[in-house]
A and B are shown apart, each in its own frame.
Chain A
């Protein structure tokens, strides 16, 4: 690759962020797609793989005596601190990565070179796994009120919308086109979700070009048509997900929001979710808190609060809850929009759908939901997640927030989702990985022009193939609580929103629970199933033997040996762990450098499944087992004793103890 100035640097140190004393010595490789760090330690040869597309920022810090530090921050919240001995090498790596992390053409992205060794047929089948027309059928469409419209064939009306859209039956092509001219980027109101039980629906659009007084008859008719498509209600809610001030400011630019007086039978409502710039800064602030070096509990909670992140998550949830309630309890249809209708609108519509319909809480249903509300409706993946080099002001963690909303719901309803936290984390990873084609580009139209389906593989097929890893053993589709609409407590429960350490600190395994309940229960379930099968086989055999016996044939029955199960989850023992730094300021018992995250990474990710395609996910694997760890205690207990007297404080031995 022409952009790689130096493919290999030796004697590079990878610094452990939590205990800065611990650094691994190894070799750094730059390839066309990855940065790879291989540790020298002969027994582990631990590898850390980073995809170029995951790199968010690269920071070259002031050269120190030990070398030149390079800080790589990733979009999946991995943080890599390298110390490169030679300034020149460091500079070369820096310059190379700057270029590699910011591709200018789609063709440079990983998905165009990624080859999981599937044949053409398998690839095509993969793309057919999620089918939106099937999804609308599942909702019960078309029916007496809604029909499939071909008005956007060849993207004639709106180039960021899909070609196949459901609109009210009474909305003629004339009305649709007219309405589209009165909406930002021609994103006219179209169906997002139809609630079969009571005909209420969720529609989405962009803001109207109302300015201070403009009107559009067709747009008014369009909303009228949406209302008529729900015979059970005589009005619809129009939900503007922006703060009122932002919406008013838009009026000056000839945009704005619906005037209740001009539209018959609408109830207009603002739900203040902040814009992409506020969200970008908020995440930035929260990540800074995560990066603080040995903060106090107070620093951490203050920082978390000041970032406003959880407040924003709650705002999105509240909007989703409002809409879900309007649809399921009041039976009123809702039209949702923000400015362009591709960020906040996508968040809110998908949260509401998730609350309303248990199908979206299944593994496949969740993929459908993302396909519907995000991919097909033109969420700008490329701009928001910076896949190609572009305007940094366009970048914002919009879908990350949605994914976090799902996690917050999973925490509150442990039995309501078929999938587990790992599924969400892997989806987040692939939003940035550019390894699969689904989440590329800014619209369906672009994807079609790039012939994504012919040239890349589908993420959904990949996730589906590995679905065993993503199952939530606690999922109960039979329980009244998890069927139908999820009911959130009536009281506003702020404390239900928690910091998602499993996402934002996911690469600091030492901070995560050391044992996985999910994996344990899945293993138990699997074993139960095996036993079940074995019993069936035995019963079958018993039947045969009985038959043979009837024929007076002597059969020496061989006692079947109860098979030895590989034993589910010896995870306990493999959950090695070493104490971390408990004495503050990184200077505890000097003899052993406390380490982080020594547990078997198999607990976190099933390595075999990921090795081929997600090398970066299985990175940071540390095979050190607990038993080994104990046995590798330095035998020289006496030698590592803090030396006798060197303390400054005569009265206390603390300084001696800590610094020796």
Chain B
């Protein structure tokens, strides 16, 4: 496929406006297969400006007599304006941007061409396989094993090759349980909570259907989960749908676990918003944030109307409930909704963050995202195809991952010393999930990534982020390891709008940057003073 077919005008003179606070840029605009470049004239001091076309969410064009204006709304919520000389040129460029930014093919996307200096292909892809997490589980308990039943992705196309399952259940039973679960997502280990000897397990809905079918192997699997936990442990099934929705799902072949079939397990319904309503909530919030002319009251009304904070509250509460069940009640928790690829992952990953101090470190959090989102088969390509500005009717888009990041941000706000990473990492993950030069968030599952050879042909975001030059942006200088569970408050007064993300391009960035600098300065001052100390005392004995 040739990009040049889609590009009619390559160059034009243009002026770029980047919001009310930044000065405009003038120069030559160039269009390539993956990028939009603005190179300022030779006399200008500013650097080349570059935009990944993939990050354009929607485009709007207006023409005047001898020029055109293109408004680019980006997936990271930035709004840019290009004033281009020449009507024809501007229309050409707009058309090209439109076409190039929405190409569907994965293997022609930029990550397959991106070859940054200082990084080697294949680096960091080995960072976080399930095998690695299994090593940790194996140290803590003997009740679980690593199964390769999904080696060729035939049992469950959205699971990775290796999954962690109860030791007493053989691969044949797993395969039969998989046939009883939507998309083959049979119950697998998400997290082992060593202090309480309980586990967090996730799956998709059982295919009970209107006849209330049962599956012996599935029942055996859940029995084995309890048997492997601390003696006498009970289980709770956290269904992320309302009990009515779960019942309705039976009509279409889905359903939920019948009480009689799973002794020791009790079901709880915690409806979480997903899919289209969640996407609409996101769109309406971003709209409200972008409207600068409204009064204080109508701002609050719109913040209320979009329900975003209510979704944050629900997601956090449900995760807390799951975590509480494990830590405080000593119960095993199985989480599923329908497909088990969205709200399920939201709950399991947040619950781990609350309980597990390791997942709050820089490396641990990256592992959590890799394990519980990417490898667990959250369909990033479908969910993040468009951000909040797209005019197209959302098909599969939903900001589930963004909701997760927002909840993590809320945790970080309430426990400012307990996360090793700062807001910078969360913002980076948001950006890269929607458009990235790295391959990490490409495709919808491990299987697809294997088919596209993502691991060998693209760079991993983790190796990009873990370069030393990025650390000051991403790390939390205040971090002090906290061995306890962090229980957030989910009261309304405790939850805030994530201004750093939703108002990132609207409010002036300087005050918070100045504050961030100061925090680093205070912390590094101490480090420096500490380091300078031993040299003095060490010199004494030499005398």
Q: Is A bound to B?
A: yes
**Chain A residues at the B interface, C-beta cutoff of 8 Å:** 18, 290, 295-298, 300-302, 304-305, 308, 310-311, 314, 412-416, 473-474, 476, 479, 481-482, 489-499, 501, 504-505, 508, 510-517, 520-521, 524-525, 527-528, 531-532, 534-535, 538-539, 541-542, 545-546, 549, 555, 557, 559-560, 562, 569, 571-573, 575-580, 582-584, 588-589, 591-592, 626-627, 630, 633, 637-638, 640-642, 649-654, 656-657
| Complex CA–CA separation, A298 to B525 (angstroms) | 45
Within 8 A of A (CB), among B448-501: 478, 480-487, 489-497, 499
Q: B539 contacts which of A18, A481, A520, A542 (Cβ < 8 Å)?
A: A542
Measured CB to CB, the nearest residue on chain A to B329 is A589
- Name the interface residues of B306-355: CB closer than 8 Å to any CB of A: 307, 309-310, 313, 317-318, 320-321, 323-325, 327-330
> In the bound complex, what is the Cα–Cα distance between A233 and B228 (angstroms)?
83
B297 within 8 A of A: yes
Give the distance to chain A from B517, nearest Cβ to Cβ, in Å.
Answer: 9
**CB distance B480 to A531 under 8 Å?**
no
Whether the Cβ atoms of B269 and A476 lie closer than 8 Å is no
B299 contacts across to A, CB distance below 8 A: 494-495
Q: Please report the total number of B residues contacting A with Cβ < 8 Å.
A: 90
Contacts A302-B304, A496-B507; is A521 near B522 (CB within 8 Å)? Answer: yes
| Contact B309 A314, beta carbon cutoff 8 Å | no
The answer to whether B511 has its CB under 8 Å from any CB of chain A is yes
Residue pairs across A and B with Cβ atoms less than 8 A apart, 22 shown, are A297-B313, A305-B297, A311-B296, A493-B292, A498-B496, A521-B522, A521-B523, A525-B525, A542-B536, A559-B541, A575-B415, A576-B484, A577-B487, A579-B327, A579-B328, A582-B320, A583-B317, A589-B329, A591-B328, A627-B484, A652-B243, A654-B267
- The distance in angstroms between the C-alpha atoms of A512 and B489, with both chains bound, is 8
Which chain A residues border B213 with CB–CB below 8 Å? none
**Interface mask (B88-122 → A, CB under 8 Å = 1, otherwise 0):** 00000000000000000000000000000000000
The CA-CA distance from A490 to B506 in the complex, in Å, is: 11
The residue of chain A having its C-beta at the shortest distance from the C-beta of B537 within the complex is A560
Question: Are A300 and B416 in touch, CB under 8 angstroms?
Answer: no
B483 smallest CB distance to A (angstroms): 7
Which A residue's beta carbon lies closest to that of B416? Answer: A517
Known contacts A305-B304, A489-B508, A657-B236, A414 near B515 by CB under 8 Å: yes
Given contacts A298-B304, A657-B268, contact A545 B296 (CB under 8 A): no
Chain A residues with CB under 8 Å of B247's CB are: 651
Q: A559-B540, A582-B320, A651-B243 are in contact. Are A510 and B489 (CB under 8 A)?
A: yes
Taken together as a complex, chains A and B put the C-alpha atoms of A495 and B317 apart, in Å, by 25
Picked from A308, A555, A582, the residue with its CB within 8 Å of the CB of B490 is A582
Instruction: Determine the chain A residues whose CB is within 8 A of the CB of B23 once the complex forms.
Output: none
User: A571–B310 Cα gap in the complex (Å)?
Assistant: 30
Q: B541 near A528 (CB under 8 angstroms)?
A: no
Structural contact, B526 and A301, CB atoms closer than 8 A: no
CB–CB B511/A476 < 8 A: no
Chain A CB count within 10 A is highest, among B259, B289, B295, B493, for B493
Q: Which of B43-51, B129-137, B527-535 contacts the other chain?
A: B527-535
How far is it, in angstroms, between the C-alpha of A473 and the C-alpha of B529 when the chains are bound? 18
Provide the bound-state CA to CA distance between A584 and B309, in Å: 16
On whether the beta carbons of A415 and B324 are closer than 8 Å, the reply is no
- Interface residue? B151 (CB, 8 A): no
- Give the shortest distance, in Å, between A195 (CB) and chain B (any CB): 23
Q: Which chain A residue shows the least CB distance to B480? A: A572
A572-B514 in contact given A521-B522, A545-B543, A592-B328 (Cβ < 8 Å): no
B21 cross-chain contacts in A, Cβ below 8 A: 489
Find the A residue at minimum CB distance from B316: A582
Residues of A within 8 A of B269 (CB): 652, 654
Decide if B138 is an interface residue (CB 8 Å cutoff).
no
- Cα(A308)–Cα(B301), bound, Å: 11
Of all chain A residues, the one with the shortest Cβ separation from B310 is A297
Is B358 an interface residue, CB under 8 A from the partner? Answer: no
Cross-chain contact B529 with A528 (CB below 8 angstroms): yes
Q: CB-CB < 8 A to A656: which residues of B?
A: 266
List B residues 138-152 near A (Cβ within 8 Å).
none
B211 at the interface (CB under 8 A from A): no
- With A414-B511, A560-B540, A573-B482 already in contact, the answer to whether A499 and B493 are too (CB < 8 A) is yes
Residue from A495, A520, A633 within 8 A of B417 (CB atoms): A520
Q: How far is the CA of A591 from the CA of B301 in the complex (A)?
A: 39
CB-defined contacts of A494 to chain B, threshold 8 Å: 294-296, 299
B182 vs chain A, min Cβ distance (A): 19
Docked CA distance A549–B539 (Å): 14
CB pair B522–A481 under 8 Å, yes or no, is no
Cβ of B418 under 8 Å from chain A: yes
A557–B536 CA distance with the chains assembled, in angstroms: 13
Residue pair A572, B482 in contact (C-beta under 8 Å): yes
Q: Once the chains are docked, how many angstroms separate the CA of A520 from the CA of B519?
A: 10
Least CB separation from A479: chain B residue: B514
Q: Does B512 contact A (CB under 8 A)?
A: yes
Chain B residue with the shortest CB-CB distance to A413: B511
Residues on A with beta carbons closer than 8 Å to the beta carbon of B289: 495
**Which chain B residues lie closer than 8 Å to A580 at the CB level?**
320, 487, 489-491
Which residue in B20, B300, B320, B522 is a CB contact (below 8 Å) of A579?
Answer: B320
Determine whether B65 belongs to the interface, using a CB cutoff of 8 Å to chain A: no
Q: A545-B543, A653-B259 are in contact. Are A637 and B232 (CB under 8 A)?
A: yes
Q: How far is the CA of A424 from the CA of B481 in the complex (A)?
A: 31
B5 CB-CB contact with A under 8 Å = no
Complex CA gap A588/B487 in Å reads 15
B492: chain A residues within 8 A (beta carbon): 295, 297, 300-301
Residue of A with least CB distance to B483: A573
Closest CB of chain B to A16's CB: distance in Å? Answer: 13
B243 near A654 with CB under 8 A, answer: yes
Measured CB to CB, the nearest residue on chain B to A486 is B511
Known pairs A474-B519, A515-B415, A651-B247; A305 contacts B482 (CB<8 A): no
Q: Which residues of B contact A582 (CB under 8 A)?
A: 317-318, 320-321, 324, 490
Closest to B294 in A: A494
B124 to chain A, nearest CB (A): 30
State in angstroms the CA–CA spacing of A626 and B482 once bound together. 11
A515 and B294 form a contact (CB under 8 A): no
Out of B236, B243, B543, which one reaches A546, CB within 8 Å?
Answer: B543
Pair B301/A532 contact, Cβ less than 8 Å:
no
**Contact of B67 with A by CB under 8 A:** no
Kindly supply a per-residue 1/0 record for chain B positions 241-273, scoring 1 wherever the CB is within 8 Å of any chain A CB and 0 otherwise. Answer: 001000100000000000100000011110000
Shortest distance from the beta carbon of A291 to any chain B beta carbon, whole Å: 11
Which of B295, B482, B506, B511 contacts A412, CB < 8 Å? B511
A297 CB contacts on chain B under 8 angstroms: 304, 307, 309-310, 313, 492, 495
CB of A491 to closest CB in B, whole Å: 5
- Please pick, from A310, A413, A589, A652, the residue contacting B325 in the complex, using a CB distance under 8 A: A589
Given the known A-B contacts A510-B491, A511-B493, A542-B536, are A626 and B484 also in contact in the complex, defined by CB atoms under 8 Å? yes
Choose among A415, A513, A559, A627 the residue that contacts B515 (Cβ–Cβ < 8 A).
A415
Contact of B503 with A by CB under 8 A: yes
When chains A and B are docked, how far (Å) is the Cα of A591 from the Cα of B364?
32
- Inter-chain CA distance A438–B499, complex, in Å, is 39
Query: How close is B485's CB to chain A, nearest CB, in angstroms?
Result: 8
Known: A525-B522, A546-B543, A637-B232. A515 touches B268 (CB 8 A): no
Is the Cβ of B533 less than 8 Å from the Cβ of A652? no
A292 to B532, CA, bound (A): 55
Determine if B234 is an interface residue (Cβ-Cβ < 8 Å). Answer: yes
**Complex Cα spacing A433 to B323, Å:** 42
The 3 A-B pairs of least Cβ separation, nearest first, read A301-B304, A297-B310, A653-B266
CB distance from B351 to the nearest CB of A (A): 11
| Residue from the list B243, B481, B490, B533 in contact with A562, Cβ < 8 A | B533
Contacts of B506 in A (CB 8 A): 491, 493
**Contacts of A569 on B, CB cut-off 8 Å?**
417, 480
A268 shortest CB reach to chain B, Å: 24
CB <8 Å contact, A535 and B292:
no
From B538, which residue of chain A is reached at the shortest CB distance? A559
- Give the complex CA separation of A414 and B511 in angstroms: 7
